[in-house]
A = this chain, B = another copy of it.
């Protein structure tokens, strides 16, 4: 039994944490690593640590570690910036690759920032592009020969609904479009194989299932055969072929590092690097299988004990990510009451109670205890008291 790896996480006593899909908990290796970076590499090494402590190489080195979890070969993933920035880079590169086309397809289940960034890019380009946003089920049919790029988040942040990434990628390629997958809710949650899918690019964040900490840097993947064809719209010095030659003209690196932009956040990157230790020796198939056991148990218990809640995630575990969501009219207040009882999930408007299942630090016993608490919130109408406090502004 390789799971759970509870000892590799420092969870507060008594808390059942079902929000690792939003912010992963603290991996036990992080404080020591960050402390060493600050008190040894920064304090003592000072400027020399850019070379001597390997800071300059960290974005690509950590990228390789993330790459292993999404089926990407070494040298095809690099870390930096935020997911919003990586979305912009990927879409700008895709539109440059399909300069004669004017349509971007996405769906209403995409995380809003992806759509905002896309619209911001299209407005900046001002070249008549349009963003075609369809329902998730309608994506396949929306991809035609006018489409430059399809940009989707594989797992829906609200419902956990998972796209058929292989099929959509095939359809995008049949239509001659570039496929970009946002793996924010996939990396570390479900088996991902960008190599098998063949998508041109992928992006994702690392503060959810990868437990990199608040504001941990994002990643970008480019299919190896395309790396040298990607034109960086955000042409920062760290993506230059020779950043310290200080040439006036930009020449992108021949490697994936051309998608680096500015000076990397070394403290956050080091925290993420330490956090990734928890994945050593595991396959995503193992992790996902354990996650399915947890989420199936949760659904079965809720179905049986909490009839007021309506499952809005797919019932087929293969059709969803590593989270389960229920609709409930008083969901916001119910979640507050649940959190007050040390079972932490989260809420997404208008009425969704969201629970993430992360088998690295959760057991089936945790799941049963979480439903015990949820059942009590509902049967004792604890949400009612919270709503009373909200309505009467009592804190």
Measured CB to CB, the residues of A under 8 A from B are 10-12, 15, 17, 19, 22-23, 25-26, 30-31, 34-35, 38-39, 42-44, 46-50, 55, 81-85, 88, 92, 108, 111-113, 115-117, 119-121, 123-127, 133, 205, 207, 213-218, 231-238, 240, 244-250, 261-269, 271, 339, 344, 346, 348-349
Give the complex CA separation of A133 and B339 in angstroms: 57
Complex CA gap A43/B309 in Å reads 30
This protein's copies in its complex: 2
Contacts of A108 in B (CB 8 A): 248
Choice from B84, B92, B215, B248 contacting A237 with Cβ under 8 Å? B84
Residue from A42, A214, A348 with most neighbouring chain B CB atoms (10 Å) = A214
The 7 lowest CB-CB distance pairs between A and B, nearest first, are: A82-B262, A120-B235, A113-B237, A215-B265, A84-B236, A84-B262, A214-B266
Bound state CA distance, A38 and B17, in angstroms? 17
- Beyond A116-B235, A125-B124, A268-B268, whether A47 also contacts B23 by CB under 8 A is yes
- Nearest CB in chain B: distance from A81 CB, A: 7
Residues in chain B near residue A47, CB distance under 8 A: 19, 22-23, 344, 346
Contact, CB under 8 Å: A263 / B207: yes
The 8 Å CB contact of A31, one of B15, B22, B38, B116, is: B38
Residues of B within 8 A of A248 (CB): 108, 112, 115, 133
Q: How far is B111's CA from A240's CA once the two chains are assembled, in angstroms?
A: 13
Would you call B31 and A35 a contact (CB within 8 A)? yes
Interface pair B43/A213, CB less than 8 Å apart: no
Cα separation A42 to B9 with both chains bound (whole Å): 12
A249→B215 CA distance, assembly (Å)? 23
**A339: contacting residue among B23, B48, B123, B346, CB under 8 A:** B48
Nearest B residue (CB) for A119: B250
